[in-house]
Structure 1
Amino acid sequence: MPRTAAPVFLAAIVIALSGCREQPSPPSGQAQSSSSVSVTVNPGGPAVLQTASAEFDVLPTGYVQAWLLKDGKRLTLDEPQPGPAASGDSVVSGGKEIHDFVFDFEHARISDAQGKLGPRGKRVEIMARSSEGESAGLEETLAAEVYDDLPTMALTSVAYKNAGSVDVKLDRVVANQHRLSASLAAPQAAPYDLWSFQGSSYQWGKDDVIHISKNFSQPNRMGAMVGRGEGGGIPVVAFWTARVGEAVGHLETLPLVVSLPVRTEPDGRVRASLSIEPHATLRPGDVFSTPRSFVAVYSGDFYEPLRLYSAALQREGWSLRKPSEEAYNVFWCGWGYEFNVTPAQMLGTIPKLKEFNIRWATLDDRWFDKYGDWGPRPDTFPDDAIQKMVEKFHQQGIRTQIWWVPLGVEDGQGRYESHPYGLARVVQQHPDWLILDQNGKHARMVRGLAALCPALPEVQEYYKELSTKFIRDWGFDGHKLDNVYTVPACYNPKHRHKCPEDSIHAMGEVYKAIFETTRALKPDSVTQSCPCGTPPNLAWLPYMDQAVTGDPVGSVQVRRRIKMYKALLGPQAAVYGDHVELTTIRYANGANEIDEGKDFASTVGAGGVVGTKFVWPDPGPHFKTVLLTPEKEALWKKWMDLYNSKMLSRGTFLDLYVTGYDVPEGYAIAKDGKMYYAFFAPDPATLWKGEVELRGLEPRKYRVVDYENGKDLGAIDGRSPKLAVEFTHHLLLEVSK
């Protein structure tokens, strides 16, 4: 959000305080025609910003209440608490929460919005002041903007100025706080009876689309590392009922270290906000500004707020790359052979890859000697065995992809389940490239690895050189970048960072270097990035050809993550459904995990790219769950042929069904003048009988075919597109004129 002259000056002080947050671009100066956003300010509040489809009320407490205007009705989930606790923004100073700010609506400033979200819009700035104890003299400026081009989203930012005579500590700043209740949209529902998308990379395998419970609580830390090395995330939390939804997040293009905590309160309401911990001291005259955050209202599930977030971020300069054509072809991965795969095992699958028309083969984990150096492992890939293997695949018309983990390096400490860590050559030669923690020790990332600092130009150059080695020198056609989350904050004094989070903010630069180097060498290459078991990181999301559902724990996660990526990257994005074997898992994420899935329909029907990790010929009993048996061969052949004939991954994903409320779970794709539908039963093992609605059709006659089984289901009228069906697990339909 652009600033007027005074706030821009204040933002400069913020940089001095934090040194970390990228500041918004100055106003473009673009001439405006009249905005359709109306603004009404009442002397005692509220200030109301209204479009044809939404209304945003800045209440006397500073709480921004969001309304969806639809079919002549005002719908909301916002239920602000009575009293000062209803404030939308607050400060914790010296352990005490301050929310007694009194807003001066009589002197509110209304102006044209001049940011990047569109040529027309309106902006309101309202001043407030605290009178509470040591914080007396702390002034707040709340700014809200709504743009004509994004009429269901309001941007907000808050600036705190110490206008007093004593220092004020800022322990925590809470912005854009909302208290939500499903009961406002569905009176019979409990207040917490909401479905939700939680965008944090919180824990491997945890559902990111959930039904909120009575005791729900999740911190949703963004940007920074959490848990066992996860972290990053998409800074959005969304909530919905069958009638209305609301989403909150930040709209900065960097992966800022903030939190979007969500919790169910004792009264059953659900509280969500943006939380920052600056741990700064405001001297008299100093100012602290929050990142720009947003609140959006909508109809539907998580697709629409993520699509809206992506559209807004792209206007801010977040540039998405178009996938290469090869990103839509079927992938086979050597991970079925686990850590000790050999060239002979990889090449042995070629007859089946050709029979199934599988175009890609991925050399997976542990082909290498050490993390960071990425030389061939001498006992399994001696001498030039990798180059020879790649060439043999190429001779058979099969492209190859190489697995690796950027930024992670072995420093002689610790181990992973595959091997104890040695000392990588790159660490010996360039110890100053390492990220250090606050104690001056090597900071740890995923898998307990040390990490190179992505903010260093020489590290970025190193990854260009590695990419060149893999693609030009060894002949690979793309990358499988795995365990991709975030990196630790860097306290290495030799790097001269403005702040420790510089390493986190710069992570995307390494992935950009890998992607652009690879594309320049092979325009039809495929770079895939996998945030194992979690949502992705906005830092590196633009720098890939193919998203991946990322070690899903079962079919439901496959489908919902495909939908998530189609919202973020576009309705024709290439989204790899990951190994089909992951659609059914026993003992997930444990040492004895068994992957035995065969649900191709969840990937095909939702518009994903099919993949598998079968082993063949039989390498022994250890691999029996992923062995391509004669029974599996027929099934795999059927689905590979079906996928390759329909190529629904290239179609246009349509947001026509609401997760959590439409039963059975539905997906729709438009391709080549036809509509394709996929329905999935609530209980995959039980016969489902009832009517399905084929949404998105024109008012005319259509022919319906069960395209998996080649069964003609008769005609349907688009004016009343309901069809009586019965099926177990799934039903895939093709509808043509």
Structure 2
Amino acid sequence: MKMQSKYYIRKKFLNLTLVLFAMLAITAFANSEESEEPLKINHGNLVFEVNANLHTRLTSTLPGTKPIMLDYQPSEKIIIDNMMITDFALKDVKEKALKGELSGREWMVKGVFTKNGLKLEKYLKLIAYDDFPGLITREVQYVNASNEDVFIEKWINENYKILPQGDEPPFWAFQGSSSSSRSDWIKPLEPGYYQKNYMGMNDTDYGGGIPVTSVWRPDINIAVGHLSLTPELINLPTEMFRDSKVLVGISKEFGERTVFKTKDTISTLETFVSITKGDYYDNLARYSKLMQAKGIEIVEPEAAAFEPIWCAWGYGREFTMEEVVNTLPKVKDLGIDWAVLDDGFQVAEGDWRPASNRFPEGEDAIKKLVEKIHGYGLKAKIWWTPLAADPGSQALEQHPNMKIIQENGAPQFITWWNAYYLSPTKEETIEHTKNIVDLFLNEWDFDGLKMDGQHMNAVAPDYSLQNPLEAPQGLPDFFHMIYAEARQIKPNAVIENCPCGTCMSYYNMASMNQAVSSDPLSSWQIRHKGKTYKALVPKTAYYGDHVELSDNGNDFASSFGIGAVLGTKFTVPSSRENEESSKFLLTEEKEKIWRKWFSLYNEKMLSKEEYLGSLYDIGYDKPEAHVIKKNGSLYYAFYADSWNGKIELRGLAENTKYVLINYFDNIELGRIQSSNPFVDVSFKKFLLIEAQPSGDF
């Protein structure tokens, strides 16, 4: 049964503050016949032109910007009967004002294509929203004005080939898709590069993501994406050619021999192009603000989500209750506030009763463990993979129809868990899930949920439903249902969404109050994932995951400097042989390091403060830098294998003097004025600097 309301989409738009109409300077023509003059829209720093063939040219008025493209390009394409159609003769342009919460200007451009009996009408709707200068949206309608049916294969929007300018590397790119390789979300591009960036399932367990591609040179950033309020099964391909030009776009592929009937209309999604300066941060932040203005509602932050975390995963799935309980005193002693019971407590995925070999007293043992955790003044979180159920599990025995069914009639399998996908919009799945939330938070008294698994990020179409796409498009509602149920039981519950290694679906971000770097493969991933989350959901707690997953297993600095919550899965000596847990043993030497970082974290609490993501380009600026603002002071984090030379402290207030402190080593580095924000430093791996305003020079 379909869930009736889009929980994560607001019923009313936000009240947006209108900007002066002077920000939107427009030249246009209307009701023209075969006009050769272009439609020209100046919106913020973006100049957007459409010519008589309905091709597009982008330029920018940003200072120092070099050409983006040499000439007009066919930014919309459609493939009909194996023919790619790009040229439509301009027939008409109409312009009108948009009023209301999302005010702006709208243009409807009509074009026609005729060839060998095929006639298509194209209606290109362009919108420039007042509150989003530098961003233009488009939606295209194609009408089959022929007298016969045809076959449609694909439509393409926002298709731009962008010029390099001799930089090295020529471009960096943020790509929001997920894959089983768990690759970096941002990377430098090189000739021969191609990535499809499909937003559906890319492997049995992996799919979904952020429907935005952002490519940049040192002088300009160009982002494209779509603005649907539900996940869509589309591509955002990125390609670099031998001449280092980069091609981006958005495409929808249709099934084999899809009929486009005579007189019917096909509509694309509302897509956008956005231009900023710097790396991907500003364009992602702009995208998220526009999505929220259109109706996506991000939940409010939770104070407890910023508190540091210890997880029992260091002991692995074969942990004992004794090991967990014996670690709690050290957890408390180090200033950590959360203890997480991880995978292994359960009989099976989908059968969430306590495993008898670890908890012979059954549920009473779990309750006693939670009491022990609370007895140390700690909060308790429990691991859970809500969309997986093992064959033969209690869940599937009681509700066999919960499974997602593929087009071939077989259940959708999750290879990592050897389990089946549950269909998120079926009433049986919803009721089963509500019961588990009640079990964990009400009956067992946990304070939060660690929802885990790369398969949670997206689901495949469910062909047991009347509309198979109801499953992937309804997944965000499923997570909001969990969030709402949990917060009703415990108003301060922390809801962590950990889609292991995937680029988390933007739509799922709306219903969690703790993001996580989610099994990072490097410290670099911890940092750039943090920058991504802080652009999209800036007030939400971002957890850097277990420090043991960072470079050398001890890089607290990467989490600390990006403004992430610190976490660890250290172990203490155990009465049993456990090769896995011995790797994470908290030795006397390690304890000194752990104690210092957790003490510094609790003292500064930078994870709650404002992250200034626009100040440094994470790709081109060296050394890599991040900045957090707190109470007038700026906290800089610099990263490099080794650095000896000048660094620039950006973002200082005008006409202000500062004292600089290496606050990790408690060393004063000198004093500077904002008019000359440079200082010579030498460091390896990281340098943390606090710039304190000082009127006394």
Answer yes or no: same fold by TM over 0.5: yes
- The CA deviation at 1:53 is 2.6
Distance 1:230 1:396 in 2: 38
1:315–1:368 CA distance, 2 compared to 1 (3 A):
same
Match of 2:4 in 1: none
Task: Give the alignment partner of residue 700 of structure 1, picking from 653, 656, 680.
Answer: 656
Superposition deviation, residue 445 in structure 1: 3.6
Structure 1's 34 and 671: CA in aligned 2 closer, same or farther, altered over 3 A? Answer: closer
Shift in CA distance, 693/281, structure 1 to aligned 2, threshold 3 Å? same
Distance 1:46 1:175 in 2: 19
Report the Cα offset of residue 114 of structure 1.
4.6
| One-letter amino acid of the structure 1 residue matched with residue 571 of structure 2 | V
1:631 aligns with 2:589: yes
Contact 1:66 1:297 in 2 (8 A): no
Structure 2 counterpart of 1:732, one-letter code: L
- Kindly report which structure 2 residues correspond to 1:127-526, keeping only aligned pairs within 5 A, or say none: 127-133=110-116, 136-183=118-165, 188-189=166-167, 193-222=170-199, 224-279=200-255, 280-382=258-360, 383=362, 384-411=364-391, 423-445=392-414, 447=416, 448-483=418-453, 484-492=456-464, 495-497=465-467, 500-526=468-494
Conserved? CA contact 1:64–1:176, under 8 Å:
no
Amino acid at match of 1:598: N
What corresponds to 1:97 in structure 2? Answer: 84
Gapped regions of structure 2 (runs ≥ 5)? 1-7, 30-34
Letter in 1 for 2:477: E
Indicate if the aligned counterparts of 1:576 and 1:609 stay in contact, CA closer than 8 A: yes
- Using the alignment, how far apart are the partners of 1:486 and 1:78 within structure 2? 35
Aligned counterparts of 2:221 and 2:188: Cα–Cα separation in 1: 14
Shift of 1:689: 0.6
- Using the TM superposition, name which of 524-533 and 610-619 deviates more: 610-619
Distance 2:633 2:267 in 1: 50
Map Cα deviations across residues 529-565 of structure 1 (whole Å, 9 max, x no partner).
0121121112311111100011111111111111100
Supply the distance in 1 between the matched residues of 2:623 and 2:532 (Cα, whole angstroms). 19
Alpha-carbon distance in structure 2 between the residues aligned to 1:334 and 1:450: 26
TM-superposed deviation, 1:62 = 3.0
SS at match of 2:347: coil
SS at match of 2:474: helix
* Match 1:691 to one of 646, 653, 669: 646
What amino acid is aligned across from residue 485 of structure 1 in structure 2?
N
Counterpart of 2:625 in structure 1 is 666
Deviations 1:312-341 (A, max 9, x none): 000111000112100001001111111111
8 Å CA contact 2:316, 2:581 repeated in 1: no
Q: Secondary structure of the residue that 2:354 maps to in structure 1?
A: coil
1:47 is matched with: 39
What's the offset of the Cα at 1:88?
0.9
Mapped partners of 1:34, 1:286: distance in 2: 40
User: 1:649 and 2:607 equivalent?
Assistant: yes
Cα contact 2:399–2:428 (8 A) shared by 1: no
Larger mean Cα displacement after TM superposition, 704-713 or 535-544? 535-544
C-alpha deviations, 1:547-598, integer Å up to 9, x for none? 001111111111111110000001x3310001111112xxxxxxxxxxx410
Instruction: Give the C-alpha shift of residue 623 in structure 1.
Output: 2.8
Say which of 571, 579, 587 aligns to 1:615.
Answer: 571
Find the counterpart in structure 1 of residue 32 from structure 2: none
RMSD over aligned CA atoms reads 2.3
Q: Is the 8 A contact 1:46 1:60 kept in 2?
A: yes
Shift in CA distance, 522/505, structure 1 to aligned 2, threshold 3 Å = same
Distance, in Å, in 2 between the alignment partners of 1:54 and 1:74 is 11
AA matched with 1:573: T
* 1:351-388 deviation digits (Å, cap 9, x = unpaired): 21011011001111121112123221121123122111
Distance in 1 between residues matched to 2:644 and 2:65, nearest whole Å: 35
Which residue of structure 1 lines up, in the alignment, with residue 3 of structure 2? none
Separation in structure 2 between the aligned mates of residue 261 and residue 25 of structure 1, nearest angstrom: 33
Deviation track 1:239-264 (CA, whole Å, cap 9, x = no partner) reads: 11111110000011101110101111
Matched, 1:581 2:548: yes
Q: How many residues matched?
A: 668
Instruction: Report the equivalent of 1:419.
Output: none
Alpha-carbon distance, 1:624 to partner? 2.8
Which residue identity is paired with 1:125?
M
Q: C-alpha separation between the residues in 2 aligned to 1:267 and 1:99?
A: 23
| 3-state SS, counterpart of residue 403 of structure 1 | strand
TM-score (normalised: structure 1): 0.87
Segment drifting more, 443-452 vs 356-365: 443-452
Corresponding residue for 1:567? 535
Deviation at 1:227, TM superposition (A): 2.0
Q: Over residues 113-152 of structure 1, what are the superposed CA-to-partner deviations in whole Å (9 max), with x where a residue is unaligned?
A: 3575x23x11111111122345x21111111111111011
Distance in 2 (CA, whole Å) between partners of 1:268 and 1:734 is 40
Residue identity over aligned pairs, in percent, reads 33
Question: Per the alignment, in what secondary structure is the counterpart of residue 441 of structure 1?
Answer: coil
CA deviation map 1:71-128 (0-9, x unaligned):
4x65553445x7xxx3111112233322232223xx2111113575x23x11111111
SS at structure 2 position matched to 1:604: helix
Structure 2 counterpart of 1:480, one-letter code: K
Aligned with 1:77 (options 40, 61, 68): 68
Q: For 1:393, give the aligned amino acid.
A: I
Distance 1:161 1:247 in 2: 28
Q: TM-score when scaled to structure 2?
A: 0.92
Superposition deviation, residue 58 in structure 1:
2.1
Following the alignment from structure 2 to structure 1, what is the Cα–Cα distance between the partners of residues 243 and 203?
Answer: 30
Is the 2:381–2:448 contact (alpha carbons within 8 Å) kept by the matching residues of 1? yes
Partner letter of residue 85 of structure 2?
I
Q: Deviations over 1:661-709 (max 9, x none)?
A: 111000000012211000001xx2x3x1111111111121111100000
1: CA distance between counterparts of 2:54 and 2:188? 29
- SS of the equivalent of 2:254 reads coil
Give yes or no for contact 1:67–1:297 (8 Å, CA) kept in 2. no
Per-residue deviation at 1:719?
Answer: 1.4
| Partners of 1:464 and 1:580 in 2: CA distance | 32
Q: 2:108 touches 2:125 (CA, 8 Å); kept in 1?
A: yes
Determine if contact 2:191/2:243 at 8 Å carries over to the other structure: no
Match of 2:500 in 1: 532
Distance 1:294 1:137 in 2: 27
SS in 1 for 2:123: strand
Q: 2 CA distance for matches of 1:443 and 1:156?
A: 35
Q: Deviations over 1:195-235 (max 9, x none)?
A: 1100111234301110011111001001x211241111000
Cα distance in 1 for partners of 2:134, 2:329 equals: 53
Bigger CA drift: 556-565 or 423-432?
423-432
